[in-house]
Structure 1
Amino acid sequence: MTRIKDIALEAGVSAATVSRVLNNDVTLAVSDETRARIFSIAEQLQYKPSRLRRMKKEERLSRQQIGLLMWSSLQDEQDDPYFSSIRKGIETRCEELGISIIKVLRGNNRTEMQPIHELDGLIVVGSIDDNDVSQLYKHSNRLIFVNHSNELNDFDTVKVHFEQATRAVISHLRKLGHKKIGYIGGNEHVHRLSRQHADIPVVEPRRAFFEKALSEAGLYHEEFVWQADWSSNGGYESMNRLLQLDSRPTACFIGSDPMAVGALRALHEHGVRVPEDMAVVGFDDIEISAFLNPPLTTVRAHTEHMGRTAVQLLLERMEGREAAVHITINTTLIVRESCGSTLQK
């Protein structure tokens, strides 16, 4: 049986150094050449091969340096935790694997970015133009897009199953007896990194699947659909417009919980009772949702899991996977008091 001191003798270093290298001690000051020589000798001497393979993988990952490109600003993340939760999942999984995130870039700053081709991988969070990103980082096989609005066939992607989420909400509201259902959502764009190019408007997926599902059921009312910016104020203004209609919806699906907070404020100011006069369903399941009055029925998007999944896809790419993979994460409908019970007939 090969022992630590056998490897040390062959490598010309101390047994303590061999032990620390094989256990991936990042605090050890040793050259890459020495580290590689120790692993090579350990493998030649058949030192616990399965454990050695694991150690080599851990050591290789500890040298990987990746970047994170996000469209949202820090203020955006404070206002709506959706993207900060994705980022948390990425950071947590990288820490578990020993991968270093050495660059965090914010696309919405619109500042001129220098190429970062030297990185071992890049994870992009938000709808940023893939051509712009490819100019920034040329290694398409180590480029992961999270929550992008478009279908990107040439890249690994992670996104929410918006159709499943939207149909679950509509099904739930219809079971409660609602036939007049409205939708409030935000304006969606594919963002350009350069100030010289305007953002590209795209169809917001929750709205698209909402219109599709209700049209199939013969229940779609165009006047019940409003879009504004993704904020509490956007939700407040949109609900005020809905409430000006002579014929109002009896239920409303709102594309984000922060927008739902603003919509609930507008309903309260107009004396519209929730859920008696209008049922409300949000999207995201942010922490405050359970503490609103009434507690908000909402869709949990599992955003932290999306971030962890993006890191796993990048890891597979680092290990040699060639084909692009597209992951769609299912959601969970969290039923609380804001959607109410069966309507009186």
Structure 2
Amino acid sequence: MATIKDIADRAKVSTATVSRVINNDHTLAVGDETRNRIFMIAKEMQYKPSRLRRMKIENEMLSKKVGFLTISSEEDEKDDPTFAYIRTWVESHCEQLGIKIGKVIRNNSVDQDALKNLDGLIVLGTIAMEDIKASVSEHTKVVFINNTVENKNCDLVSIGFKHTVEAIIDHLTSLGHSAIGFIGGTHHFERLNRSKPAEIIKDPLTVYFEEIMTELNLFRPEFVKRAYWDPATGYKAMKEILASPIRPTACFIANDPMAIGALKALQEEGVKVPAEMALIGFDNIEITAYMNPPLSTVNIFQEQIGKTAAQLLFERLNGREARIHSIIGTELVIRESSKVNRKG
């Protein structure tokens, strides 16, 4: 069986150089010609071919130009860290796969020329596919995360929204709630071309809440409000609900920052949570466990979303042709804000 020394002798380099090249040491200053010669000799000498194939793939990945396009500005990520967490997990798992994300591109500052030169692109959020296709080359591999508009040619990682809403409504109705309110977010169908305005569309949670509550004959449109994903507008939306002479006894809110604002509004109005109104958020950001009362919410498994998107892109860059749509399940995290049983 060939050894590192055998390869080094034939390649006329040191054993240390061969070892570092085969182990994909990116800090090694060695030319592409030498690196490729070492791989070729190792393959000819049948030096651990399975490992070499993996190392060769990782070496090829390093040469790929990959970008990450998100609808969120840096300020948006501070207000609601969910997209920031997903982006961080994508970057982390891409790195483990040997993929280097060269640039994070935000929809409020898109360099469309930069998109043209990419081998791969991960897109977080709902952005018009026609704009993406017009901005990238025909060979660019695109993976979408949480894009509510599917495309028949691109991979997609999405959250199991329908099952999530079903679980929340089951939980609340099992506790005796039938008057259930909802505060949804303002969901935009974003355009890369700023000459075309973003279109406001219903977010998936709103769609499934209305659909399921209607099927149960429990839907009350006056209990549904729309906010803008932050505490201030969540606070305002809850104030509007509380101003009505008839109030819901429970409320599901489409993200945790809005739920935090809604909780403040309830406390200001002297509404006891959960005795007079149960409250459930969405995203399971860290602070929700430390609210008073601790906030029931939904864990969306951000790491799994990021890991899945990175893996799908890795497979596409390595030649997979079949489209994959991965739906990531969620977990209802029940805390004090929704625990009172009204049936008792």
Are the counterparts in 2 of residues 141 and 317 from structure 1 also a CA contact under 8 Å?
Answer: no
Structure 1 residues without counterparts, runs of 5 or longer:
none
1:83 is matched with 83
Whether the 8 Å contact between 1:285 and 1:301 is mirrored in structure 2 is yes
1:141 positional shift: 5.7
2:58 counterpart SS class: helix
Cα deviation, 1:220-243, whole Å, max 9, x if unaligned, reads: 111111112111111111111111
Whether contact under 8 Å (1:66, 1:101) holds in the other structure is yes
Shift of 1:258: 0.3
Supply the AA of the counterpart residue of 2:24: N
Partner of 2:287: 288
Deviates more, 1:35-44 or 1:14-23: 14-23
Tell me which amino acid in the other structure corresponds to 1:102.
G
SS of match in other structure, 1:114: helix
**1:98 to partner: Cα distance:** 2.6
Q: What TM-score, normalized by structure 1, do the two folds share?
A: 0.96
Between 1:129-138 and 1:235-244, the stretch displaced more is 129-138
Looking at structure 1, the residues matched to 294 and 165 of structure 2 have their Cα atoms a distance apart, in angstroms, of 20
Aligned equivalent of 2:333: 334
Q: Is the 8 A contact 2:127 2:189 kept in 1?
A: yes
Match of 1:24 in 2: 24
**Where does residue 59 of structure 2 map in the other structure?**
59
Aligned alpha-carbon RMSD (Å): 1.5
* Number of equivalenced pairs: 344
1-structure distance, mates of 2:291, 2:43:
60
Q: Which amino acid aligns with 2:161?
A: F
Q: Is the 8 A contact 2:280 2:297 kept in 1?
A: yes
Tell me, yes or no, if the aligned pair for 1:206 and 1:255 is still in contact at 8 Å: yes
How far does residue 43 in structure 1 lie from its aligned partner after superposition?
0.7
Task: State percent identity of aligned pairs.
Answer: 49
Q: 1:281 touches 1:297 (CA, 8 Å); kept in 2? A: yes
Given that 2:121 and 2:140 are in contact with CA atoms closer than 8 Å, whether structure 1 keeps it comes out as no
> Residues 151-162 of structure 1 correspond to what in structure 2 (within 5 A)?
151-162=150-161
Q: Mean alpha-carbon deviation: is it higher for 54-63 or for 249-258?
A: 54-63
Partner of 2:69: 69
Tell me if 1:232 matches 2:227: no
Q: Distance in 2 between matches of 1:246 and 1:20?
A: 72
Q: In structure 1, the residue corresponding to 2:20 is in which secondary structure? A: helix
What amino acid is aligned across from residue 27 of structure 2 in structure 1?
Answer: T
Letter in 2 for 1:276: A
- Pairs within 5 Å for 1:199-210: 199-210=198-209
- Distance in 2, Cα, partners of 1:330 & 1:5: 50
User: Matches of 1:147 and 1:196 in 2, distance apart?
Assistant: 24
Cα pair 1:18 1:38 within 8 Å, conserved? yes
Q: Which moved more, 1:87-96 or 1:327-336?
A: 87-96
SS at match of 1:284: coil
Greater shift, 210-219 or 44-53, is seen at 44-53
In the alignment, the residues of structure 2 paired with residue 306 and residue 173 of structure 1 have an alpha-carbon distance, to the nearest angstrom, of 27
Look up the equivalent residue of 2:335 and give its one-letter code: R
Task: Decide whether aligned partners of structure 1 residues 116 and 226 sit closer, same or farther in structure 2, where only a CA change above 3 A counts.
Answer: same
Does 2:106 align with 1:106?
yes
Question: Equivalent residue of 1:108, what SS?
Answer: coil
Distance 1:278 1:152 in 2: 40
Q: What does residue 253 of structure 2 align with? A: 254
Which shows bigger deviation, 201-210 or 58-67? Answer: 58-67
In 2 relative to 1, CA 242–140 (structure 1 residues): closer, same or farther, beyond 3 Å? Answer: farther
- Per-residue deviation, 1:149: 1.8
Contact 1:232–1:263 (CA under 8 A) maintained in structure 2: yes
Corresponding position: 1:164 with 2:163 = yes
Contact 1:141–1:322 (CA under 8 A) maintained in structure 2 = no
Provide the rounded CA distance (Å) in 1 between the counterparts of 2:117 and 2:196: 26
TM-score by length of 2: 0.96
Aligned partners of 1:141 and 1:155 also within 8 Å: no
What SS is found at the alignment partner of 2:24?
coil
Q: Aligned pair in 2 of structure 1 residues 120, 243: CA closer, same or farther (>3 Å)?
A: same
Paired residue for 1:186? 185
2-structure distance, mates of 1:264, 1:140: 48
Deviations 1:39-79 (A, max 9, x none): 11111111122222222223223333311111101111111
Match of 2:144 in 1: 145
Residue 14 of structure 2 is aligned to residue 14 of structure 1: yes
- Tell me the equivalent position of 1:300: 299
2:171 and 2:233 mapped to 1: Cα distance? 25
What is the Cα deviation at residue 114 of structure 1?
2.0
CA contact (8 A) 2:118 2:140 kept: no
Distance of 2:133 and 2:66 partners within structure 1: 15
- In the TM superposition, residue 344 of structure 1 has moved relative to its aligned partner by 4.8
Q: Is 1:232–1:261's contact at 8 Å kept on the other side of the alignment?
A: yes
2:118–2:137 CA contact under 8 A, matched in 1: no
Question: Could you give the per-residue CA deviations for residues 167-194 of structure 1, whole angstroms, max 9, x where no partner exists?
Answer: 1000000000001001001111111122
- Please state how far the C-alpha of 1:125 moved relative to its aligned partner: 0.8
Deviates more, 1:312-321 or 1:31-40: 31-40
Is 1:2–2:8 an aligned residue pair?
Answer: no
